[in-house]
Amino acid sequence: MRRFSAEYLEFTREGMWADGREALADCSLPDRERVLDVGCGTGEFTRVLAEETGPDATVIGIDADTSLLDVAREETSALASYAAGDATRLPLREDAVDLAACQALLVNLPEPARAVRELARVSADLVAAVEPNNADVTVSSTVDREADLEREAREAYLAGVETDVALGDRVESLFVDAGLVDVRTRRYLHEKRTAPPYAEPALESAARKASGAGLDDHREELRNALSAAAYDDLRRRWREMGRDVVAAMREREYERVELVPFEVTVGRVP
């Protein structure tokens, strides 16, 4: 199972769904009574679901990584409850909820179709998946080589990763294959903007670029696509770029915008 640190999840989801939630309209969240968020991690999406459902709704987050659930419980204890479980063998009976949802889960699974079938099994009504299209991410930056290097690293990552991290609109066919009906998709564009004054997570992210730690998080996938020498070369250029970012931040001259498209697919159990 691919593992994620709590810091990584909190940083990458920062600001997500804060600028509008129209793309979640087909989930009919105000009408839901029992909502499940599978692969909830630190509860970033669970909190959004809990905020949008009515006061009497029950919201449960499930994840296989119990250390992330500990963080989720600290952040969301009053809004939702959390339990350990595997997305491909959910510890719930059939029809236990009226919305079974996930965010950025299917792209991390070797067999996403199995998880979709489980979401459909435990829901009496709706199933929803919010999945990034990692092949269409764009970055612009005031540090010249940052966008090019990020593209180079992303292409190597996409070539080396073993799951389909750019599922995008193919989630619709997974839903149809699982027997779901009325399947529809809306797009949410997550804009991550870094500009002065810099918040602590942005400063940490720059430091992790300069040390190479951010790239090392994906070393395994990158090394599947790159030779040892090519990885070392990318890492050396990446760290130089990171030092430029840190220097530009000291001068309060650094700005970066990242756009990550997410497809929100919703289907109904017939």
Ligand X SMILES: C[S@@+](CC[C@H](N)C(=O)[O-])C[C@H]1O[C@@H](n2cnc3c(N)ncnc32)[C@H](O)[C@@H]1O
Interface with ligand X (CB under 6 A): 1, 4, 9, 13, 39-41, 44-45, 63-65, 68, 86-88, 103-105, 108-109
Q: How far is the CB of 204 from ligand X (least distance, A)?
A: 17
Looking at beta carbons only, is 86 or 152 nearer to ligand X? 86
CB 68 within 8 A of CB 42: yes
- Sign of the alpha-carbon dihedral angle for 8, 10, 14, 16: positive
Please state, as a whole number, how many other Cβ atoms lie within 10 Å of the Cβ of residue 73: 15
Nearest residue to ligand X, using CB?
Answer: 41
Please state, as a whole number, how many other Cβ atoms lie within 10 Å of the Cβ of residue 6: 17
Q: How far is the CB of 13 from ligand X (least distance, A)?
A: 5
CB 97 within 8 A of CB 34: yes
Looking at beta carbons only, is 109 or 245 nearer to ligand X? 109
Q: How far is the CB of 65 from ligand X (least distance, A)?
A: 4
Q: Give the residue among 133, 141, 134, 132 at the shortest CA–CA distance from 257.
A: 141
E strand intervals along the chain: 34-38, 58-63, 81-84, 97-103, 123-132, 138-141, 181-194, 256-268
Q: b/e string for 75-104 if b means 16 or more Cβ within 10 A?
A: ebeebbebeebbbbebebeeebbbbbbbbb
Q: How far is the CB of 42 from ligand X (least distance, A)?
A: 6
Looking at beta carbons only, is 86 or 216 nearer to ligand X? 86
Looking at beta carbons only, is 134 or 194 nearer to ligand X? 134
Q: How far is the CB of 142 from ligand X (least distance, A)?
A: 28
CB 95 within 8 A of CB 119: no
Looking at beta carbons only, is 87 or 137 nearer to ligand X? 87
Tokens of 92: 């719930």
Q: How far is the CB of 149 from ligand X (least distance, A)?
A: 22
CB 119 within 8 A of CB 175: no
Looking at beta carbons only, is 144 or 162 nearer to ligand X? 162
CB 242 within 8 A of CB 202: no
Looking at beta carbons only, is 60 or 210 nearer to ligand X? 60
Q: How far is the CB of 173 from ligand X (least distance, A)?
A: 21
